[in-house]
Structures are given as structure tokens and as C-alpha cells.
Amino acid sequence: MIILEVTSPGSSVSLVLFFGTIGMLALTIGLIVFIIFHQRKVIRYQLRLQRMEQDQQKLLLNASIRLQEEERQRIAADLHDDAGPLLATARLYLNENLVNLDKTTQLQSIYNAKQIIDDTIQLIRNISHSLMPPTLKNFGLESAVNDLFQKISGSGSMNASSRFHDYRERLQAENELIIFRVIQELVNNILKHSNASFIHLTQNTSGNKFFIRLHHDGRGITQNDFNKLNKSNVGLGLKNIQSRLKVLHGKIFFEKDMSQTYYKVTIELVKEEEDKLQEQE
Amino acid sequence: MIFFVCFLKRNRHGGFWVIFFYCLISFLTDNIYRYLHQPVNRFYLYSGFTICEFLFISLFIYLSLKTKLLRIIILTGGLIFCPIAIINLLHGSDGSFFDSLSASSESILLIIYSIFFLYEQLTDQTVIYVYNQKRFWIVLAVLLYFASTLFLFIEAATLTKAEYNNYWPINNIFNILKNILFSIAFIMKKSDKAHQSLDTAYPDIQ
């Protein structure tokens, strides 16, 4: 009936009413359908993101487990290959004491055993220091980094220097260790892959941000390479760096210097995050 | 109203009592209307109902919104609309039995408020299933009803008695639809599915 009324000539009110109502109804239904479909689309996108993040987490976890295993293997090898034979030799010397009654030979073998035990103590100390550098624990990040760089420079293969501009207040011990491990990993990578002739580390703070920047003149990687390596199954050390920095809510940037001569690696931490972590503990 | 009372436990919280009172007033208005024969009285009845209707639905949407800015806009809209509607009511009917100006501005405002609600739901990351919420069905009913009757309300002042009788069923049809949607909302269980983690909420979407 309404349609008949609308189609009759001269009924402009009816026409407006008819098309207005139909139009509004269509718009409303369209809006509702759009909302429902848009929401499903957003959910799909979020799910995809979540899955990608889970994959990334899995990769990082695998990397950290593998690294832990490698570290254990290294310690096991050090103990087995170095400390084991040394102690066995010392045992042999002491055994000889039991069967040999000659005083001079006994003294000689005791002296030899003592020498071997001293070497073993030194070896175990070295292993222990590689696990937790005493300089870091006692004197902080600045001293530990300086120590590390002095050792590198001392080897003569590379010129390594560091400068801490604003490190009056030490970070929390656990966080210092994490940052030190990251620096160690980066320096290791530079030593292994870059063929650089120098490394220079600078530390700075700006507002509530804490920066550590490494410069070197060898072959390096950019942020794109870093992201690609992080998503792939290779680049164990880099994944380890990222998982360590994730604990501190820190960021890392790989880039080439403005002059295109040097590679820069910047670690950025928020000091407030550090305080929050401290409070949580 | 029957469904609200039957499923009182499900509708006790979340401002659904506002919709219950709105339905009650709507029911009473429709019944009183039958006994009124003078257009002047009908005008006052409709105008009064329009103000009440606007206040109840605005209050419901106000209670449903979380964004402060949108809430302020609703309050401002109410503060502008109510005095105009009351002045219009006091000004008199001019022989007409329907207050077209108030009803159409009420419709426009409530459509805008409903869009506010839907926009908020769209941007709220915690909402997974928008249609699993009781509020959504109430707002959907409001939006459908007022969008469909907007042009009828605008044109109502210019319609003749015959045209009015001819077109008024549009209002009745969408009124029934609105009540059906309200009933769905009142019957619906309070769902936790609307707010949950993505993994468990959408196993079918891959």
C-alpha cells in the first residue's frame, strides 16, 4: 500500500518518506554489518600478530636454551680437558709418594703435585671469572668493560677503548650483568666477523634514557639484517642479545655511520624501567 | 517487560532497568493514547513521552559508554535538547497532535549516540564478540527504530490525517522490531565471551 502511494503522481512527501526510510534502514544495516565484519577482520589481524609474536618468542627461547647448552658444554670441556688431566697427574704424583720411600723423590713429587694443583686452581678461577667477572661484581659495569677492552687491546689484534660519560650511579647488579653480557656478545661478534681494526664504546644518559654505543670500522650489520637474522634460525648470539634486552625492556639499533665508514650499535634502556624492576624485586 | 522480569537475575546490572522503565512508560503511553480523543491532549502526551524516551535511552547509552568525551557530548546533547523540547511542549500544538521537531531531533541525537556506542565497541580491544553483549542488542534496537522512523517523524507535521494513518504503520512495525530486539537482549545470558583472550574466543578464525 505504501509503495502504491509512493508511485502515485504528485506525492513528493511520500517519496521523501519512502526513500528516506529505506535509505536510513539500509545505512543502519550496512553500519551493523560493517562493524561485525570489521571486528572479525581486526581479530584475524590480531591473531596473526599474536602468532608471529609467539613464533618469535619460541625462537628466542630456543636460542637461549641452545646458548645455555653450549655454555655448559664449554664449561664441561674446560673441566674435562684441562682440570681433569691436571688433577689426574697430581693424583699420580701423590700415588708415587705412597710407593716410593725415597725422601728426595717424595719431596720432588709433592712439589710437582703442588704445582699442578696451583695450575688447576688458576684454571678453575679462570672458568669462574668467565662465568661471572669479579670486576663487574665488585667495581661495576664501567670497570668490567674497561677491563675487557684492555684485554682485547693487550692482545694486539685490535685497538679497543671505552668511555663512560655519565655513570655515577651504578645500575642494579643483575642488570649490569645483562648489559655486560650483551656487550661481550657484540664484541665477540665484532672480533669474529667484522675484521675491524678498532672498537670504541661510549656510555651516555639523556633524561631517563641510558645509552651504550659501539663503533667499529669493520664489516657490520644494519637493522634490516638484524631483523632478518632474528626471524631466521641462524644468528644465535643476536637472538640471545635480544632476549637479554627484552628482560630490561631495552632496545638495540644497528646502523651505519653518517660517513658510511663505521658501523654503530646502540643499546637504549629506560632508567625508569630499571627502577620498576628494582621495585618489583 | 515480561522478559525483563522473568530474567531479572541476568538484567539486574548494567543499567537495563532504564530500558525496563522506558518500556513501561512506552506501554502506558500507548494505552493512555487510546482514551484521548482531543489532538491537543495527544500532542502533550506524545511530547512528554518524547522527552522521557530521550532521557531514558540517553541515560542507558551514557551508562554504557566508557569514554569521558563521549559521555560529556551526551550530557551536552541532553542539556540542549531538553529545554528546547520543554519550550516546544509549553508553546503548544498549533492544532497538530504530533511534536515533529522534538521527535526528529530526538531521533537524530539518539542515532548519533548509538553510533558513539558502536564506535567505542569497535575501538575497544577487549571486546571480542560485539553481538554477544546485551547492550549491543539494545543499542541496535534503538538505532534501527530511530533510523527507520526519522523521516516519518520529520514529515509527520506536514501529513494529512489520511496520510498519517497510511504511514504510521512504519512506526508500529519498527516499534515491534525494537521490542523484539529488547526481548532478545533481556533473554540473553550475561556472556563472558564478549571479553576474553583471542586464542580461546576465536578458534574458528585462522
Q: What is the CATH number of the domain that holds A271?
A: 3.30.565.10
Indicate the number of domains in chain B.
1
Indicate if A191 and A248 belong to the same structural domain: yes
Of A27, A38, A46, the CB nearest to B122: A38
Indicate if A161 and A252 belong to the same structural domain: yes
Neighbours of A230 (CB within 10 A): 17
Q: Output the pLDDT for position A280.
A: 57
Q: Are B166 and A1 in contact (CB < 8 Å)?
A: yes
Question: Which residue in chain A has the smallest CA separation from B137?
Answer: A32
| Alpha-carbon gap, residue A252 to A211, rounded angstroms | 10
Domain that holds residue B97: 2-7+17-194
Best of A3, A27, A37, A39 to mutate (most B CBs within 10 Å, chain B): A39
B171 contacts on A by Cβ (under 8 Å): none
Look at residue B37 and tell me if it is in a domain.
Answer: yes
**Per-residue confidence in pLDDT tens, chain A, 281 aa:** 444 454 454 456 677 777 888 888 888 888 888 888 888 888 888 889 888 888 888 888 887 788 788 888 888 888 888 888 888 888 888 887 777 667 888 888 888 888 889 988 888 888 887 777 888 888 888 999 998 898 888 877 788 999 988 888 888 888 888 899 899 889 988 888 888 888 999 998 888 888 999 999 888 888 888 888 877 777 778 888 888 888 888 889 998 877 777 888 888 888 765 556 555 55
Look at residue A62 and tell me if it is in a domain.
Answer: no
Question: Which residue in chain A has the smallest CA separation from B123?
Answer: A39
Given A84, A106, A130, which residue is the final one in a domain? A130
A/B interface, count of CB pairs below 8 Å: 72
Given A130, A149, A173, which residue is the final one in a domain? A130
Percent share of chain B, pLDDT over 70: 77
Indicate if A117 and A220 belong to the same structural domain: no
What separation in angstroms does the CA of B194 have from each of A98, A121, B27, B191? 81, 64, 31, 6
Cell of B23: 518500556
| Alpha-carbon gap, residue B22 to B43, rounded angstroms | 19
Look at residue B31 and tell me if it is in a domain.
Answer: yes
Q: Are B147 and A27 in contact (CB < 8 Å)?
A: yes
Q: Please tell me if residue B157 touches chain A, with a CB cutoff of 8 Å.
A: no
Q: Please tell me if residue B166 touches chain A, with a CB cutoff of 8 Å.
A: yes
How far A62 CA sits from the closest chain B CA (Å)? 23
Which residue numbers in chain B have pLDDT < 70?
1, 3-5, 7-11, 13-14, 33-34, 36-42, 92-97, 191-206
Question: Which residue in chain B has the smallest CA separation from A32?
Answer: B140
Look at residue A61 and tell me if it is in a domain.
Answer: no
Burial A49-60 (b: 16+ CB within 10 A, else e): eeeeeeeeeebb
Q: Are A47 and B205 in contact (CB < 8 Å)?
A: yes
- On the CB side of B57, CA atoms within 13 Å amount to 30
Residue A278 main-chain phi, psi, to 5 deg:
-65, -45
B202 contacts on A by Cβ (under 8 Å): 43-44, 47
Look at residue B156 and tell me if it is in a domain.
Answer: yes
| Alpha-carbon gap, residue A214 to A257, rounded angstroms | 11
